[in-house]
Amino acid sequence: MRDAFHDDLDAIGQMLVDMGEMVRRSMERATNALLNADLALAEQVISEDMQIDNVQHELDANTLNLLARQQPVAGDLRTLVTSLRMSADLERMGDLTNHIAKVARMRFPAKAVPFELEDTVREMGTVAERIIAKVTHVIMSHDLDAAIQLEKDDDEMDKLHRKLFMALLDDSWSHGIETAIDITLLGRYYERCADHAVSVARRIYFLVTGEYSTDLA
């Protein structure tokens, strides 16, 4: 019975890893759709968001089933409760990539991002992908050093987010209110994705140590 229980725990962990990889691919495609005004790619991201949601629903159902059947304690209980919270963070990250794709779709055939901000947004997408990939690694390996490093990656995203705002506030801004709103929302989507990744890292740290890290405050 215990072997079967731990097999079920391992399966839940693998589902979290799978969710992380799905979100990473979604972020890559959403950023490409945004910067290249690629309607087909944007539609793909939007339609595949439901797959991420379905994995979360299955994962949460399996987790609650194990809680009810096995009544785990100590580390096993912490694993299951933490998994529920991490699945919610990953699902929300998927939603944010979906929002990015919807901005691309809404402005098609035009590009939503002005030329002078393309490099900044591209870098935000790159940082987001790296953060999501690192989150997936942390979930799979319980690498606490990598979990703590995510706080620094989040700082990098915050700097890029501020850079977008500086462009919006500059007197030379000439793209109008509609584009300013798009850029404000896009900056928020990327920034919040990184925040959810840090949340996952905090949960992994707690899962492994039973304590909250002061380096992931």
Tens-place pLDDT, residues 4-17: 888 888 999 999 99
DSSP class of residue 109? T
Domain 2-216, classified CATH 1.20.58.220, yes or no: yes
Report pTM: 0.93
Q: Looking at residues 108-131, what average pLDDT do you find? A: 96
Domain boundaries, the chain: 2-216
Could you give the angle at the alpha carbon of 190 between the alpha carbons of 203 and 168, nearest 5°?
140
Percent of the chain at pLDDT exceeding 70: 97
- pLDDT for the residue numbered 28: 97
Written as six digits, the tokens of 197 are 């990744």
Quick one: pLDDT band at residue 68, thresholds 50, 70, 90?
confident
Q: pLDDT tens across 122-174, in order?
A: 999 999 999 999 999 999 999 999 999 998 899 999 999 999 999 999 988 89
Q: Of 169, 170, 38, 180, which is closest to residue 113 (Cα–Cα)?
A: 180
- pLDDT for the residue numbered 210: 81
Cα–Cα distance measured from residue 128 to residue 153, given in angstroms and rounded to the nearest whole number: 9
CA dihedral 160, 166, 172, 175 (to 10 degrees): 60
Residue 33 has pLDDT above 90, yes or no: yes
Cα–Cα distance measured from residue 157 to residue 145, given in angstroms and rounded to the nearest whole number: 19
**Picking from 36-45, 47-56, 169-178, which range would have the lowest pLDDT averaged per residue?**
169-178
Q: Looking at residues 85-93, what average pLDDT do you find? A: 96
Residue 2 has pLDDT above 80, yes or no: no
**Picking from 70-79, 113-122, 184-193, which range would have the lowest pLDDT averaged per residue?**
70-79
Cβ atoms of residues 82 and 207 within 8 Å: yes
Task: Tell me what the pLDDT averaged over the chain comes to.
Answer: 92
Residue written as tokens 């109008």?
176
Determine if the peptide bond prior to 114 is cis (ω within 30°): no
Neighbours of 68 (CB within 10 A): 8
